[in-house]
Amino acid sequence: MTDSLPVALYNATQVRELDARLIAAGTSGFELMQRAAHAAWRALRRRWPDAGAVTVLAGRGNNAGDGYLLAALAQRAGWQVRVLAVGDPQTLQGDAALACAEARDCGVPIEPWRAEAPLQGVLVDALLGTGLTGAVREPYASAIAAINASGRPVLAIDLPSGLCANTGQVLGQTVRADLSVTFIGLKLGLFTAGGPDRVGALVFDDLQADPGTVAQVASEAVRLDHGSLARVAPRSPTAHKGSFGQVLVIGGDLGTGGAALLSAEAALRCGAGMVTLATRPEHVSASLVRRPEVMCNGVESTYSLTALLERADVLVVGPGLGQAPWGRSLISAAAQREQPQVWDADALNLLATGAVELPSGCLITPHPGEAARLLKCSVGEVQADRPAAARALAQRYGCVALLKGAGTLVAAPDGRLALCDRGHPAMASAGLGDVLAGVLGALLAQQLAPFEAACLGAWLHAAAGERLGPLGRGLAASDLIPVIRQLFEEQSPCLK
């Protein structure tokens, strides 16, 4: 499972620095603008070869310049072309002004934007670029609303107007594109928060940028793909179950026993040598019937948990744990241990209340609601800047934080940030987080460091959902487990 996109992800400031370095190295700004227009025009013709008509909605910056040059290319190709200028062409400067002049010289009709103007053919969003930080203002907000209400196919140049390039936050009004063509460096905001819902299909063009020049600018994050993931070493012919760790899953209060069992089964199928489940005594019989390979223990108190903690190499704490006295007592015991730990679900809710402290070297897996409780803020604030929220979690709790959601993010206390853009909407189903927690526990048990385990686990989990997604609605969490096993074998073969 591979793709053609780069792994480096940049913020808007870094992209501007890339532009500046390319210009300083000898490629003029207007030449870069021409290359961008050609790339967008090629993508438009591949997607809609028989459209025959284009309406470009242009703002007043370099993004508009790309649009004017695309309009000139379409005019020369004999298409019906029109530019609706939302930004006054008389205020254009520099390369954007040159682009507008070229469009005029080609005979492209340029009209002022008005709300009643008919929108025809493929709509090209050349309104607002990567520099937008505040809410979209008029007349741009009305133009974006008209694009979205038109029912016409939409191509966004660089990124959909109104989308924050850094965070994926929707800045008031955002174009919903069918196709986005982005340049030089991938913007982080295209892949997280509101980005995946607005970008449509994504095409990247490096505009023939010199790789050495690009490498001079540090990226904000890395995008996980098959080639950038850590690999678990092949197993020797003399391997035995004790070589691959014992994972102890702690959870499953009354009514939520399935959550802990899902985690235990996922850990088993992802290669842990042994898996133990500490759960309510009422769940033992059902667990043995479901998965006899898991050593299921009924525990009433911390006393009966002590021996299990002593034998475990990795703890997975929280799936179905609850916040009642039973769960509180078990997590208090786990918090005193020094083994690598994955904290999920109610373990995070108890952590947010201050009832327990997180041991060092842990991996936490909050969804946005849990992240908001941990950071003492609103879900909206988390979603408005997911990269900042993930980093804040890692810093505040001294752990690796895996922030779930569209564009899952993995942050380390040292500042590293990774993004997983795999997945499928069919994964919106209960229990998938429990499976992920078990996968992470198994990877830790096989000696991956927390950050590398979180990156690989997030990718395996999301890629499994993506592989099953075409079957449609009704995806159950347990459906993922055999597919994760298969993907793990493809990524890290058991034998050399």
3-state secondary structure 342-385: EECCHHHHHHHHCCCCCCCCCEECCCHHHHHHHHCCCHHHHHHC
Judge whether 263 is annotated as a binding position: no
CA distance 255 to 131: 50
Backbone dihedral angles phi then psi of residue 195, each to the nearest 5 degrees: -55, -55
* 8 A C-beta contact, residue 174 and residue 144: yes
Q: Using alpha carbons, select from 63, 120, 111 the residue that is nearest to residue 89.
A: 111
User: What sections of 161-315 are H helices per DSSP?
Assistant: 195-199, 211-214, 257-269, 284-290, 302-311
CA distance 86 to 142: 10
H helix or E strand, kind and range, residue 10: strand 8-10
Judge whether 461 is annotated as a binding position: no
Judge whether 162 is annotated as a binding position: no
C-alpha count within 13 angstroms, C-beta hemisphere, residue 494: 13
Residue 377: burial class (beta carbons within 10 Å; 0-12, 13-18, 19+): middle
Judge whether 210 is annotated as a binding position: no
Judge whether 303 is annotated as a binding position: no
Judge whether 433 is annotated as a binding position: yes
CA distance 283 to 298: 7
- Cα dihedral 148, 152, 158, 159, rounded to 10, equals 20
Judge whether 194 is annotated as a binding position: no
3-state secondary structure of 32: helix
Which runs of E-coded beta strand occur in 37-149?
Answer: 53-58, 80-85, 110-112, 122-126
Judge whether 67 is annotated as a binding position: no
Judge whether 405 is annotated as a binding position: yes
What is the separation of C-alpha 421 from the centre of its chain, rounded to a whole number of angstroms?
A: 4
Judge whether 213 is annotated as a binding position: no
Judge whether 95 is annotated as a binding position: no
Judge whether 187 is annotated as a binding position: no
Judge whether 361 is annotated as a binding position: no
Torsion sign (Cα): 169, 196, 402, 398: negative
Judge whether 135 is annotated as a binding position: yes
Judge whether 205 is annotated as a binding position: no
Checking 483-491 for CB contacts under 8 A at 24+ apart, the result is: 484/266, 484/269, 484/270, 484/435, 484/439, 484/460, 485/269, 485/270, 487/1, 487/460, 487/463, 488/232, 488/270, 488/271, 488/460, 490/1, 491/226, 491/229, 491/231, 491/456, 491/460
Judge whether 407 is annotated as a binding position: yes
C-alpha count within 13 angstroms, C-beta hemisphere, residue 89: 21
Judge whether 134 is annotated as a binding position: yes
Judge whether 125 is annotated as a binding position: yes
Tokens of 220: 């904000």
CA distances from 94 to 23, 101, 162, 177, 308 (A): 14, 11, 23, 28, 70
Place of tokens 């088993």: 268
Tokens of 5: 């996109």
- Cα dihedral 337, 412, 427, 431, rounded to 10, equals 10
> Which parts are annotated binding residues?
63, 125, 129-135, 140, 158, 161, 259, 320, 367, 404-408, 433-434
> Which parts are annotated binding residues for K(+)?
63, 125, 161
> Which parts are annotated binding residues for AMP?
404-408, 433
> Which parts are annotated binding residues for (6S)-NADPHX?
129-135, 140, 158, 259, 320, 367, 434
